[in-house]
Amino acid sequence: MSIDTRNHILKVANNLFKEHGYSHTSMDKIANESEISRRTLFRLFNSKSEILYLSNEDVLKDTIERLLGKTFTLQSFIQKLIKILDNASYSDKVNYMETMKQLKYEPDFQSQTLYKILKLIPSLSFSDEDHHDILKGAFFGNIFIAWAKIIENPNIDSLDILKNQLIEFEKTL
């Protein structure tokens, strides 16, 4: 099978995960929508969680590099995130809330998201002076605190919670 076939399957699966949620998307559905046999799908991918992981593996890193370039400071990163959150549309907020619901109710999605973040963290370099990654840890700790608040109360405005958490963190820099 070609790389194009794998990429096609990953794209189809990613769309299905967005549309139906991870837990409501079966390997059969992915195979059918990709127009391949179930056997071929399992030859290419061992599991649905592998497909989830690979379906958008570098999205976080690619997005950060597209917004900020390859080198940036923690402060510029936070300021850019706050600006993005300030300009978020209603549909952005709805999409984010749906993602947070997936984080709450879909264990495979939780573990794959956490794994992707853990793989991303070492590649980020906010400052040459942060030899012990204290700033990195504090930044991602604040993100996780905001997520915990959102998961605890899914009716709150999740992007505002995240933005306020980042604003308070920026004051400590």
pLDDT for the residue numbered 127: 66
Question: Residue ranges of the alpha helices (H) in the chain?
Answer: 3-20, 27-34, 38-44, 48-55, 59-68, 74-86, 90-105, 107-120, 134-152, 158-171
Same domain, 118 and 45: no
163 shares a domain with 97 = yes
The answer on 50 and 12 residing in a single domain is yes
- In this structure, the answer to whether residues 7 and 63 fall within a common structural domain is no
Is 145 found in the same domain as 70? Answer: yes
Query: For residue 106, which of 52, 168, 146, 172 has the smallest C-alpha distance?
Result: 52
pLDDT in the model for residue 61: 67
CATH label of the domain that carries residue 109: 1.10.357
Tens place of pLDDT per residue across the chain (173 aa): 577 889 999 989 988 887 887 778 899 999 999 999 999 999 999 888 888 878 765 656 666 777 777 777 788 888 888 998 888 888 888 878 877 877 788 787 788 888 888 877 877 777 667 677 788 888 888 888 888 888 888 777 778 888 888 899 889 88
Task: Please check whether residues 51 and 64 belong to one and the same domain.
Answer: no
pLDDT of 41 = 93
Q: How many distinct structural domains can be found in the chain?
A: 2
pLDDT of the residue at 52: 82
Statement to judge: residues 19 and 103 lie in one domain: no
The domain that holds 9 is classified in CATH as 1.10.10.60
Domain range enclosing 22: 3-55
Residues 105 and 147 in one domain: yes
**pLDDT value, residue 119:** 79
**Are the CB atoms for 114 and 30 separated by under 8 Å?**
no
Task: Examine the domain organization and report whether 45 and 79 are in the same domain.
Answer: no
Contacts of 24 (CB under 8 A, 6+ apart): none
